[in-house]
Amino acid sequence: MPEIVIQEISKTLGGLLTLGEINMKAADSAFVGILGPSGCGKSTLFNIISGLMRPDSGHVFIDKQDVTGRTGRVSYMRQKDLLLPSLNILENASIPLILKGHPKKKAHAEAEKHLSQFGLEGFQRYYPSQLSGGMRQRAAMLRTYLFSSDILLLDEPFASLDAITKRKMQTWLIGVFNQIRPTVMFITHDVDEALYLCDKVYVLSECPTVVKMEIKVPFSRPQHGRTITDPGYSKMRDTIMEALEL
Amino acid sequence: MKKLKNTVNIVIPLAFVTLLLTGWEVMVRCKSVPEWILPGPVRIARTFADNAPVIAKHSQSTLLECLAGFGIAIVFSFVIAFLMDEIELIKRALYPLIVASQTVPIVSVAPLFIIWFGYGLMPKIIVVVLVCFFPIAISLMGGLAAVDREYLELFRSMKASRLDIFRMVKLPLAMPSFFSGLRISAAYSVMGAVIGEWLGAKQGLGLYMTLSQRSFQVDRVFAAILAVTALSAALFVLVVLAERLVIPWNRLKQDR
């Protein structure tokens, strides 16, 4: 699985310095969290990694290849599911394959293989409006996965879900991650979510955004999905809270 | 429970209409209003039945004008909306013109079409196109412009071409808005054709209406109005059915 290196990225948007000299690294099969206040340019960062936006300076390397400002290597998943209401779940998930030029039948067959892994078995003919928020997010994640199966960029994917569904989805995501071992970058503004899911967390500041802190999380991903009981947890949580000035 | 609600939804307006018609009939009879001023519903129904073949013949030309004009307006709207959505320059050039064109009263320009194109179908079709084009084009453009920017970014990040984005994302997402414009103009189209026929025609409900009106056969005018209403309603229903066929997924939301 690939390694993502973000090197001295800076970006000014509308006259406002949004990102100032960001350095990050997501190792092979790492689950990296990006934690920061709302509106601090986290999404801008993903726009740059996915190539939608060109940084003013700096580079993005995926597996040592410079992909700065080039789309097509990775896509990303957002808070909104952005499924097309006109297509059913299977058709929605197959979109990246069809855009890559696969014939429809083959694309559908390929997407169908992954349905059970993403908890969508039996729902392939349903339309997005017929499904719950959690299921829609899973379908959106399957679509992201089918575009680039080795890297998942997730931008607050569970932020619009209720607390119970959110926790279920987190546990489910850990399960999927353990099976396919992609390199994950996960944006969130929820400290507990970051500590629960990630191996490493970058804490970002407010505008202009810089990396305030880089923390290795030693107790990540408990299989059972319960509260982390490690005594170091609350201390680490406090350190992050302090960095966020909460 | 749902069934009961549906029945109520049908029964109440139906009962109300019956009440109105009965009131009308009673008033006309009690006050003995002369027929050339206001005939009662019963009289109108009889005239309609007696003249059914003639009305049907006139309706045919009106319907033909409507469908032709409606179809041309739809094709035009798609072409214009596509160009305006894709090319900013065209949008800037055309948008004010399209809106301004709506301020010109149709009745005042329709006689010109008769001077230019004669008494055949052509001038009426042009009027219908003019009447229908605006609501369809505006709703389609509105739908295209309202597509969430994040959809576009997502598809661009997946390396979709502009045409792919238009075809896969913008067009389907704009369809509900397009159809609401289509429903409005379906009802307008018959009006456009009738106005065109008023000013001069060889056949059509508008002509039948003016002829009847000039000879004070008010019952026939009402019969023609009935036919016009029926045509409008039929076109409206046609559009609703087409909507269900083309975007069946749009109704799912209401079911939940």
Q: Structural domain boundaries of chain B?
A: 1-31, 51-255
Bridge partners of A211? A204
pLDDT digits (tens, 9 = 90+) for B167-182: 999 999 999 999 999 9
CA distance B162 to chain A (A): 12
Cis, bond preceding A208 (omega within 30 deg of 0): yes
User: SS3 string of chain A?
Assistant: CCCEEEEEEEEEECCEEEEEEEEEEECCCCEEEEECCCCCCHHHHHHHHCCCCCCCEEEEEECCEECCCCCCCCCEECCCCCCCCCCCHHHHHHHHHHHCCCCHHHHHHHHHHCCCCCCCCCCCCCCHHHCCHHHHHHHHHHHHHHHCCCEEEEECCCCCCCHHHHHHHHHHHHHHHHHHCCEEEEEECCHHHHHHHCCEEEEECCCCECEEEEEECCCCCCCCCCCCCCCHHHHHHHHHHHHCCC
Judged by CB atoms closer than 8 Å, whether chains meet at B157 and A95 is answered as: no
B205: part of which helix (H) or strand (E)? helix B205-214
Chain A CB contacts of B175 below 8 Å = 86
Q: What is residue A36's predicted lDDT score, i.e. its pLDDT?
A: 85
Question: Helix, strand, or coil here: B71?
Answer: helix
Domain end, chosen from A147, A169, A193, is at: A147
pLDDT digits (tens, 9 = 90+) for B190-218: 999 999 998 888 899 999 999 999 999 99
A96 in contact with B, Cβ within 8 Å:
yes
What is the chain A residue with the closest CA to B164? A99
Domain end, chosen from A128, A147, A166, is at: A147
Question: Helix, strand, or coil here: B42?
Answer: helix
What is the chain B residue with the closest CA to A80? B150
| Measured distance CA(B63)–CA(A79) in Å, rounded | 49
Judged by CB atoms closer than 8 Å, whether chains meet at B153 and A52 is answered as: yes
The reply to whether A166 and A238 lie within a common domain is: yes
The reply to whether A246 and A137 lie within a common domain is: no
The reply to whether A165 and A69 lie within a common domain is: yes
User: What is the rounded average pLDDT of the residues B84-113?
Assistant: 88
Pairs of residues, one from chain A and one from chain B, whose beta carbons lie less than 8 Å apart: 60
The reply to whether A129 and A234 lie within a common domain is: no
Q: Are A73 and A4 in contact (CB under 8 A)?
A: no
The reply to whether A67 and A158 lie within a common domain is: yes
What is the domain extent for residue A135? 80-147
Residue A142 has pLDDT above 90, yes or no: yes
pLDDT digits (tens, 9 = 90+) for A169-214: 898 898 888 888 899 999 998 888 888 888 899 998 887 888 888 8
Q: Which amino acid is it at A151?
A: I
Chain A CB contacts of B251 below 8 Å = none
The reply to whether A36 and A121 lie within a common domain is: no
Q: What is residue B256's predicted lDDT score, i.e. its pLDDT?
A: 44
Query: Which of B152, B154, B163 to probe by mutation at the A interface, max A CB count within 10 Å?
Result: B154
Query: Which of B147, B158, B252 to probe by mutation at the A interface, max A CB count within 10 Å?
Result: B158
What's the angle, vertex CA B242, arms to CA B236 and CA B245, rounded to 5?
Answer: 150
The enclosing domain of A191 has a CATH number of 3.40.50.300
Predicted confidence band at A42 (pLDDT cuts at 50, 70, 90)?
A: confident
Q: What is the ipTM of this complex?
A: 0.87
Q: What is residue B4's predicted lDDT score, i.e. its pLDDT?
A: 76
Taking residue A95's Cβ as centre, other Cβ atoms within 10 Å add up to 24
What's the angle, vertex CA B185, arms to CA B182 and CA B187, rounded to 5?
Answer: 115
CA atoms within 13 A on the CB side of B104: 14
A14 in contact with B, Cβ within 8 Å:
no
Q: What's the number of domains chain A is made of? A: 2
Q: What is residue A209's predicted lDDT score, i.e. its pLDDT?
A: 85
pLDDT digits (tens, 9 = 90+) for B239-254: 999 999 999 888 876 5
Q: Are A73 and A150 in contact (CB under 8 A)?
A: no
Q: Name the residue among B150, B250, B252 with its Cβ closest to that of A80.
A: B150
The reply to whether A19 and A120 lie within a common domain is: no
| Measured distance CA(B254)–CA(A203) in Å, rounded | 43
The reply to whether A137 and A216 lie within a common domain is: no
CATH of the domain spanning B51-255, picked from 3.40.470.10, 3.40.50.20, 1.10.3720.10, 3.40.1350.10: 1.10.3720.10
Judged by CB atoms closer than 8 Å, whether chains meet at B172 and A86 is answered as: yes
Q: What is residue B9's predicted lDDT score, i.e. its pLDDT?
A: 86
CA distance A76 to chain B (A): 7
Q: What is residue A224's predicted lDDT score, i.e. its pLDDT?
A: 63
Q: Name the residue among B151, B156, B164 with its Cβ closest to that of A82.
A: B151
B50 in contact with A, Cβ within 8 Å:
no
The reply to whether A130 and A20 lie within a common domain is: no
The reply to whether A155 and A226 lie within a common domain is: yes
The reply to whether A133 and A109 lie within a common domain is: yes
Q: Quote the mean pLDDT of chain B.
A: 90
Residue B236 has pLDDT above 60, yes or no: yes
| Measured distance CA(A239)–CA(B3) in Å, rounded | 61
B175 in contact with A, Cβ within 8 Å:
yes
Instruction: Looking at mean pLDDT, say which of B99-103, B201-205, B230-234 comes out highest.
Output: B230-234
CA distance B10 to chain A (A): 28
Domain end, chosen from A130, A147, A164, is at: A147
The reply to whether A53 and A87 lie within a common domain is: no
Q: Are B137 and B80 in contact (CB under 8 A)?
A: yes
CA distance A201 to chain B (A): 25
CA distance B189 to chain A (A): 29
B150 in contact with A, Cβ within 8 Å:
yes
Judged by CB atoms closer than 8 Å, whether chains meet at B173 and A76 is answered as: no
A225 in contact with B, Cβ within 8 Å:
no
Q: Which amino acid is it at B66?
A: C
Q: Structure tokens of B112?
A: 């010109």
